[in-house]
Structure 1
Amino acid sequence: MAFRLKLNPEQLRQLRSTQRPKLDKAGGIVTGAKGFAVLEPNPDGKQWRFLDASPGAPTGFGVFVGKLKSTYEVQRKIGGKVMRISIGDTSELTLKDAHDLAGVKVAGAKKEGKHPKVLAEKELSIQATKALTVNQAIQLYHDMLARRTRPATEGTLKTLTNSIARLARPEVGIGDTPIMDLDEEKVTKAFEATRLSAALHSNRLSQPVKDFMERTGRVDLTDAELTKLGVTSEAMRSRIRAAGVSAAEQTFATAFRAVNYVVDKEARAAKKAERKAVLFGNDFGVLWEEGKMRDAAGLHDYYEKARVRNPLGSEDNTLGDAIEYLWSRREAQRGQNESGVYYLLTTLFLGARRNETAKLAWFDRLSESERATKSWVWLDEMDPKAWRAGVPSVNPATKKKGPQVFFAKTKNRRDHSMPLGPISVQLIKHRFEKRLAEDDPRARWVYPARSKRAAEGHYKDSKAIMKGLGEKLSVEFGPTPHDLRRTLGRYATRVGISDRIISRLFNHLPPKRDDEDEGAKSSVRYQEPEWFELQDALQKVEHLMASSAPSFYNMLKPADWPLLPARQVPGPSEE
């Protein structure tokens, strides 16, 4: 590690070997604001390493900069051997959490005298089992999920890594506790500490609220306390009191499953060795017994009180105002917002998740093998023969007719394909007409990032546009990108689309029933909607949604849809 660098969070998240530190004529590191290193393109793209020069960095802590990702690591001499220990992906862990986790892994390696990877891969002995800590159990669980026949998703593995980091925070202090030394009181205290810690790390709470929580050591603030802090909305009070709960629930549910895993593993090892198990019971279960982990009913009550789900509507014309606002932002900042505007409008009319829309590529710019594993869009224009003949194209991968979209490996781990409705087609055609030249590194993406140097190449961050939209609508909360997805569901119900077709459009799995047998599962498969049914449903719902914004509707409507009169804006005398 020749370099000692200090990088900001955004640099760390996007760091790849396509970049390198900029050097001055004397060979020194060029730095910018606050001492952060300046990066420049790395023509040869070779992988490299550097030591972390930020305050609080553990000895030997640095980053390995690879071609596909960058990884925190720490190098120390332990037991007479130099060990290089991987900590986690820079796009997943904050620098502070990586520092804390490095300390835990180094301490574990010193205690065992072995590399953490060796501990994770070897069969648990009685001694190792007795000394096994909570975070080591989560790491074992993580490794099992990553190597099994059907590996866990990246999101699941990231959740485990984040849980390890939270439990390693000094204010929580339970990550390096041996499972055998746990008791219900320690688990309960650690849960509350994690909740408070997560609330103080939240960017959704105002600084005065966080300062008060830190002074009192409580997240559950009273009405009187919140009123003094200027919080008068009941929905906002509910949100503040719930701060950190989701993070704590996720973290401790992870720990519960990981401990169950190692307890079962130890029981099997004990049976094989004809000895008594040294691990049994799971103290994390006390959180469910005491009601600290919310069930479905508790979550529903919270969503209602905190007004978490806010689909756009027609009663207050939030949908029409939102569409008009987004459509007007295309030319803002000399076109800098154009890709983001189309990304949000397409997310609205597809009813897609934000990351699903962001990762859409052009079908004809993917290799044949990539088309099965990457998300893509297909338009009639991509089949010149059909286009010249004026007939619908047939996609070579799905064998389905007409414009369509394919989402690979979605949240429920299933691929999802659907036709494009008439408004979605027009939105994506606008992108097709302006797509980048093939030699541009962002050329494959329907919604390219602003910069050629963007790590993933596609658009990702819509926070600024969504913030402006929230201010335009004058709503207390949101909307969020997921509220755009919910909006399609609200309007699909209004035009009488059946539940089975709505579920198919949203790629929702049917709910599990306790009495479900193989026959019932087969019946669900028989109810799969046909392609033309999906096309008909999308035409109806897109027509209703788009008509709430007449100027937008009139510009993008198919020829056979009637024109709509412009919206009348009330004048001063009419208000």
Structure 2
Amino acid sequence: MKINLNQQLVVKTLSIDFKPKILPDGQLIFELNEERKPYFITDAHRDAPVGFGVKVSTNKKVYYIQRRVSDSDSGMQVIRATLGSVSDFDNIAQARDEARRYVQQMKQTKRNPNKVKRETHASELMIKEIFEQYRRHLTTRSKPAKPNTLLVFDKAQNRLSDWANLRVKDLSGNEILRKFDEIAVKARTAAEQTFRWINVAVKYAIEIEAINAQTQQRKPSIIYNPFTILAVQKKYRTRSELEDSYREKNIRNPLSPRDTLKQFLDALYYKRFTNRLGADYLLVTILSGTRKEESASLCWREKLTDEEAKRTNYVDLKNRLLFFYDTKNRNNHTLPICDAMYRILEDRKYLLDEVNVGTSYKNKYVFPARSKFSKAGHYSDSKELRIKICEEAGIVKLGMHDLRRTFGRIAEELVSYAVVKRLLNHKNTTDPTERYADPHWDRIKEALQRIELNILSKSSNLYNSLLASSKYQPIASIEQEIKEVE
């Protein structure tokens, strides 16, 4: 609808409740807008640029400009841009002038000025917007970030919540250094994680802005990342400094093949009588060298559909195979099931089937949760069990990842570096030799069997309970050897 607009009509008269109508004789009347639908009015005034008008909706009235613009790719395109709320302008003449400026920009850029304005103000982005932009990237990229990654990211954003409404360009190097030290005094690792995240988020924003600026043939509005001051001032610990910190805080505690590994396995052997679920979980983890969440979430292959098996960690007893989907390095990982592991898993399946005989209950997990109310559905927390084992074995401290480190320590003594990397599923994409030195499956199986036997041989009780047979001769305990000598 075209009407000669004026200040009185736009500001005072137009509303969502009544819609203007022009009668055949040219008289302007207002009729009830029963459904209260938003409507557009094009300004027919001689001073108005073509396509200028006002949109009336339930909560506000806004000026807009709409034009057809030639586009080399699609021929012609219609662009409608909002100029702002009616109340933002002193009068309608001012809005018409703004509309003319928008038209010139449409002709030059072939794009909506509002979108261009948002993109050309990357330097105006606030810290919270920088975080939100990068989080969208993490969740929408071809391989979305894992839940644990997003959890750490969100914690980083929360630590900088008092900076949420500050623009990146407003942060000085001294302010960034002060904030880093403030967090580091209480938690150095948290400070490093927090500022590494905001640094990479700002770097991403700069890269996106560079692409947009190139497309629009303009200069980027943000080119400097103020968080680089932390690297310049050597605020992040080096690898050797981190290792020193781990030793000082007694964080990494792999078991020693000379003493603590035997003590752990002996205590674990007896725990299998009272807590078979937790003990078997720890055994599978140390014998496979996997991460705690990888072994905890293992399912029985036969209880999965072919489609589910493509994206699920599982045990395939028939083919003696462990499969891990989308691991930490974003690759799938496979391991052979060696003899002791096979016995553990075979017994687990038998025990679970016995418990559920006569019922329709079909838990897919190898290590099902102890509570039916568990959200994960599988066993997940062995902390209490590990504390008890440590107390009985005389071990100061043992984390779940220390079992993986123990596996790596044993593997390093027995097999080649390339095989250790393959077993631990470590990838070095910058090393081209890795593509040519990928160990054969038979070699992987042979190596893993050697490692398994070496680990279990430290505890005669555990070794004999799992392996003693015509293939593997029983190991005499130290007590038995002493008696024989006497």
TM-score normalized with structure 1 length: 0.60
Partner AA of 2:348 in structure 1: R
* Deviation (angstroms), 1:422: 1.4
* Deviation (angstroms), 1:256: 0.3
* Deviation (angstroms), 1:320: 1.2
Q: Distance in 2 between matches of 1:123 and 1:430?
A: 65
Q: Distance in 2 between matches of 1:330 and 1:379?
A: 21
Q: Distance in 1 between matches of 2:177 and 2:59?
A: 39
1:532 aligns with: 442
Alignment deviations for residues 385-440 of structure 1 (CA, whole Å, 9 cap, x no partner): xxxxxxxxxx4xxxxxxx11011111101001111121111111221111254966
Alignment pair present for 1:501 and 2:444: no
1:142 is paired with a residue whose SS is helix
2:475 aligns with: 564
Which of 284, 288, 309 aligns to 1:350? It is 288
1:188 aligns with: 177
Q: Distance in 1 between matches of 2:362 and 2:197?
A: 37
1:7 aligns with: none
Alignment deviations for residues 280-311 of structure 1 (CA, whole Å, 9 cap, x no partner): 31111111112211122322332344443221
Partner AA of 1:129 in structure 2: A
* Cα distance, 1:188–1:473 mapped onto 2, change above 3 Å: farther
Residues 246 and 252, structure 2, Cα contact 8 Å, conserved in 1: yes
How many residues align structurally? 368
Which of 305, 313, 316 aligns to 1:378? It is 316
Alignment pair present for 1:161 and 2:154: yes
2:334 is paired with a residue whose SS is strand
Q: Distance in 2 between matches of 1:471 and 1:440?
A: 40
Q: Distance in 2 between matches of 1:472 and 1:314?
A: 18
* Deviation (angstroms), 1:501: 1.2
2:138 aligns with: 145
* Deviation (angstroms), 1:123: 6.9
Q: Distance in 1 between matches of 2:123 and 2:246?
A: 42
Partner AA of 1:357 in structure 2: S
* Cα distance, 1:123–1:535 mapped onto 2, change above 3 Å: farther
* Deviation (angstroms), 1:150: 3.4
* Cα distance, 1:195–1:554 mapped onto 2, change above 3 Å: same
Q: Distance in 2 between matches of 1:182 and 1:260?
A: 15
1:555 aligns with: 465
Alignment pair present for 1:331 and 2:238: no
Which of 100, 117, 132 aligns to 2:125? It is 132
Residues 422 and 558, structure 1, Cα contact 8 Å, conserved in 2: no
1:125 is paired with a residue whose SS is helix
* Deviation (angstroms), 1:261: 1.3
Residues 270 and 277, structure 1, Cα contact 8 Å, conserved in 2: yes
Alignment deviations for residues 507-556 of structure 1 (CA, whole Å, 9 cap, x no partner): 1113635xxxxxxx3x5333222222122112211111111111111110
2:261 is paired with a residue whose SS is helix
Q: Which has the larger radius of gyration?
A: 2
Q: Distance in 2 between matches of 1:545 and 1:294?
A: 34
Q: Identical aligned pairs, as a percentage? A: 30
Partner AA of 2:474 in structure 1: L
Alignment deviations for residues 369-397 of structure 1 (CA, whole Å, 9 cap, x no partner): 111110100113xxxxxxxxxxxxxx4xx
Residues 167 and 194, structure 1, Cα contact 8 Å, conserved in 2: no
2:97 aligns with: none
Residues 441 and 457, structure 1, Cα contact 8 Å, conserved in 2: no
1:423 aligns with: 340
2:329 aligns with: 412
Q: Distance in 2 between matches of 1:347 and 1:534?
A: 17
Q: Distance in 2 between matches of 1:346 and 1:453?
A: 24
Q: Distance in 2 between matches of 1:539 and 1:512?
A: 30
1:453 aligns with: 373
* Deviation (angstroms), 1:128: 5.2
Q: Distance in 1 between matches of 2:173 and 2:142?
A: 35
1:418 is paired with a residue whose SS is strand
* Cα distance, 1:157–1:442 mapped onto 2, change above 3 Å: farther
Residues 442 and 452, structure 1, Cα contact 8 Å, conserved in 2: no
TM-score normalized with structure 2 length: 0.70
1:369 is paired with a residue whose SS is helix
* Deviation (angstroms), 1:174: 2.3
Alignment deviations for residues 432-478 of structure 1 (CA, whole Å, 9 cap, x no partner): 111254966671000000011211210111111122223234344x2
Q: Distance in 1 between matches of 2:59 and 2:263?
A: 67
RMSD of equivalent CA atoms? 2.7
Alignment pair present for 1:546 and 2:470: no
Partner AA of 1:325 in structure 2: A
Q: Distance in 1 between matches of 2:360 and 2:263?
A: 35
Greater alpha carbon shift after TM alignment, 414-423 vs 466-475: 466-475
Alignment pair present for 1:279 and 2:222: yes
